[in-house]
Amino acid sequence: MAKRSDRCPARWRRPFIPWLEGVEAGWSVPLLLLCFVAVWTVGLSIAYLGAGLHPDVLETWTLGRHFAWGYVKHPPLMGWVTGAWSSIFPPTNWSLQFMAMSNAALALWFVDLISKQFVTGHKRLIVLLLLMLTPAYQFHAQRFNANAVLLATWPLATFCFLRAFETRTTRWAIAAGFAAAVAMLGKYYSIFLVASFALAALAHPLRRTYFTTASPWISAATGLITLSPHIYWLAKTGAPPFSYALAHTGADLQTSLRDVISFLAGLAAAMSVSAIVWVMISGDRLKRFGQDFSAMNSGLRLLFYVALGTIALPVCTSLAIGTDLPSLWALQGLFLFAILIVCSTRYRIERFHTVNATVLVACIAAVAVVIAAPLHALYRNSYGYMEGRTFYREAANELTRQWHALTGILLEVVSGNDSLGFVAAFYSPDHPQYTQDFADGSGWELPNKTAMERGWAALCFQDQADCLDWMRQTTARAGNFEFVSHVFAVQSDLLGLPGLKRNVVALFAMRRRGAARALQTQDGKLTDQKTPLPY
């Protein structure tokens, strides 16, 4: 059927032929990626209409407002990327969703750079289409955080390493070291990729040729130089990201085994649709897989060793020291297996199959945008999110309105609960600075002295016991300030359709001018009464 279709394609298939033939001309892959970004940005905007961004995304935006060589929980790359993006685009939902999809498209472009080292023509498109059938480049990517930023850095580092190993030139050695360091600045989980590079080079038949040149040592030196400002920051600040990471260790062997099984099962599930599509493409040619795999070239063999390392090393580490191991931490490495499976084949893939895969990807995207996204928005408007995303904008606006009525000045600082602190910073018209002092990234302390001098506000949902407890401790310990608090209700809204309701507690801190007061509303006006704080 595939051969007949290639000889005499159906009328509806013919418009795809120029696109398939334009891969080597250089325009087919960019066109595919532009369509991918446009469709999924629209889909996400519809799906989360009436809701706020995920707290992880708001965290990256908040961190990115201040350049630093490191942050409390993670290395700095995610903050740098969001800060650079926000210097061009406004702080809105659509712009950060656009950023997330652009990051995913950049990741796929780097994957294509690797693919075209081994195959030509529409086999390159097959690799990208199979990856688009995984959840990594849409649903995982849209939550831009320390995990999602690795989608682009891992294939870039892998491409540079392959070129450095193959050419052993100074230029590619420097590029490999720099790209590996950038991946480490995204998340320390990238140590498994860097270690896989070293192990793959040692396992490769050409290891002597590689290690007897200056290339690996130039890469190592470049990586250390690139990381040196961050290393200095770690030494100066007490390495808070390591303290945060250590909170994910200490599980017993039984728990670690369960995590490993879940980790492997999660990655298999993420690739399941792509695997089924590949089986349909290969057909009875699958029986040639072993023969083709054993005959793969030097570059693919090196890539195979890297792929094994990115799975085996996290598993061994989890079993050895009892770390958490969710499969989403490794989704950025799925491209290695897609490249290996497609590029190791020695037979021709008919145009018929590439068109079918393209239509499948397009249909899934269309259904997601036209049907699933509106249904998701309606469902969330009625049933909400665990983190309260449907109330973010309303809560931040009401907080700002009350602050203006109380003080008559701009709201400059917010504090308190991480997620709602980030929310107030992003969604408030004043865009206040978020501040919170953490000893080790896990405990809540009083805001710093500078913030207290300027006055600040905080938000908690009324059913968040830990956040309300922090408010009580704050009002008890900060004796030189007066506190005004207020409980107000917010309701989700989807294009005028009312949804779920939830209560929010606002706390305002100012220099003491009298007794602590509780802020209440009467006929839409703000009045002060000497009553206990309402929690």
Helix ranges (DSSP H) in 48-149: 55-64, 77-86, 93-115, 123-132
Do 360 and 399 share a domain, yes or no? Answer: no
- Beta-bridged to residue 494, according to DSSP, are 497
For 42, other C-beta atoms within 10 Å of its C-beta total 18
Residue for token pair 């999660």: 266
pTM of the shown model: 0.91
pLDDT over 50 at 247, yes or no? yes
Do 420 and 316 share a domain, yes or no? Answer: no
Q: Mean pLDDT over residues 258-271, rounded?
A: 95
Nearest residue to 58 via CA among 521, 433, 421: 421
Confidence label for 445 from pLDDT (cuts 50, 70 and 90)? low
pLDDT over 50 at 440, yes or no? no
Question: What are the φ and ψ backbone dihedral angles of 513, each rounded to 5 degrees?
Answer: -125, -5
Do 327 and 362 share a domain, yes or no? Answer: yes
Do 353 and 435 share a domain, yes or no? Answer: no
Element (H, E) at 142: none
The tokens describing 350, both together, are 């008919």
Burial of 325 (0-12, 13-18, 19+ CB in 10 A): buried
SS3 521: strand
* Residues spanned by the domain of 502: 389-529
Which pLDDT does position 523 carry in this prediction?
38
Do 479 and 349 share a domain, yes or no? Answer: no
Confidence label for 514 from pLDDT (cuts 50, 70 and 90)? very low
Query: Strand 481-494 vs strand 433-434: parallel, antiparallel, or unpaired?
Result: unpaired
Residue 328, CA distances (Å) to 27, 108, 253, 363 in order = 32, 18, 21, 25
Confidence label for 509 from pLDDT (cuts 50, 70 and 90)? confident
Domain C-terminal end among 337, 370, 403: 370
Mind listing the pLDDT tens digit for each residue in 131-161? Answer: 999 999 999 999 999 999 999 999 999 999 9
Crossing angle for the helix pair 351-367 and 28-47, to the nearest 10 degrees:
20
Q: Answer whether residue 41 is part of any domain.
A: no
Cross-sheet strand order for the sheet of 413-416: 433-434, 413-416, 456-461, 497-511, 481-494, 517-522, 525-529
Query: Strand 481-494 vs strand 497-511: parallel, antiparallel, or unpaired?
Result: antiparallel
The string of DSSP letters for 12-63 reads GGTTHHHHHHTTTTT-HHHHHHHHHHHHHHHHHHHHTTTSPPPHHHHHHHHH
Residue for token pair 């036209």: 370
Q: Answer whether residue 426 is part of any domain.
A: yes
Do 159 and 289 share a domain, yes or no? Answer: yes
Residues with Cβ within 8 Å of 167's Cβ and at least 6 positions away in sequence, in order, are none
Domain C-terminal end among 370, 397, 414: 370
Confidence label for 521 from pLDDT (cuts 50, 70 and 90)? very low
Is 506 within 8 Å of 399 (Cβ atoms)?
A: yes
Mind listing the pLDDT tens digit for each residue in 364-418? Answer: 999 999 999 999 999 999 998 988 999 999 999 999 999 999 888 899 888 876 6
Which pLDDT does position 157 carry in this prediction?
98
pLDDT over 70 at 349, yes or no? yes
Helix ranges (DSSP H) in 429-509: 449-454, 465-477
Q: Answer whether residue 311 is part of any domain.
A: yes
Nearest residue to 180 via CA among 200, 154, 201, 203: 154
Confidence label for 532 from pLDDT (cuts 50, 70 and 90)? very low
The tokens describing 436, both together, are 């919170």
Q: Answer whether residue 114 is part of any domain.
A: yes
Q: Answer whether residue 380 is part of any domain.
A: no
Q: Answer whether residue 60 is part of any domain.
A: yes
Least confident of 38-47, 124-133, 235-244, 444-453: 444-453
Which pLDDT does position 75 carry in this prediction?
94
The tokens describing 316, both together, are 């061994």
Do 335 and 459 share a domain, yes or no? Answer: no
Do 275 and 360 share a domain, yes or no? Answer: yes
Residue 134 DSSP class: S
Do 74 and 219 share a domain, yes or no? Answer: yes
Do 436 and 334 share a domain, yes or no? Answer: no
Q: Answer whether residue 486 is part of any domain.
A: yes
* Dihedral of the alpha carbons of 365, 369, 370, 371, in degrees to the nearest 10: 90
Is 389 within 8 Å of 51 (Cβ atoms)?
A: yes
Do 345 and 412 share a domain, yes or no? Answer: no
Do 357 and 393 share a domain, yes or no? Answer: no
Query: If DSSP states are collapsed to H, E and C, what string results for 333-366?
Result: HHHHHHHHHHHCCCCCCCHHHHHHHHHHHHHHHH
The tokens describing 162, both together, are 């392959």
Confidence label for 484 from pLDDT (cuts 50, 70 and 90)? confident
Distance of CA 416 to the CA centre of its chain: 24
Is 19 within 8 Å of 124 (Cβ atoms)?
A: no
Percentage helix, strand, coil for the chain under 3-state DSSP, each rounded to 5: 65, 10, 25
Least confident of 65-74, 125-134, 178-187: 65-74
Considering the chain, what percentage of its residues have pLDDT values greater than 90?
A: 68
Total number of domains constituting the chain: 2
Domain C-terminal end among 335, 370, 405: 370
Residue for token pair 């720099």: 178
pLDDT over 50 at 309, yes or no? yes
For 255, other C-beta atoms within 10 Å of its C-beta total 13
Is 343 within 8 Å of 118 (Cβ atoms)?
A: yes
Q: Answer whether residue 382 is part of any domain.
A: no
The tokens describing 121, both together, are 């023509």
Confidence label for 535 from pLDDT (cuts 50, 70 and 90)? very low
Residue for token pair 């939902």: 93
Residues with Cβ within 8 Å of 202's Cβ and at least 6 positions away in sequence, in order, are none
- Beta-bridged to residue 518, according to DSSP, are 485, 529
Q: Give the integer Cα–Cα distance in Å for 131 and 115.
A: 12
Position with higher pLDDT, 435 vs 371: 371
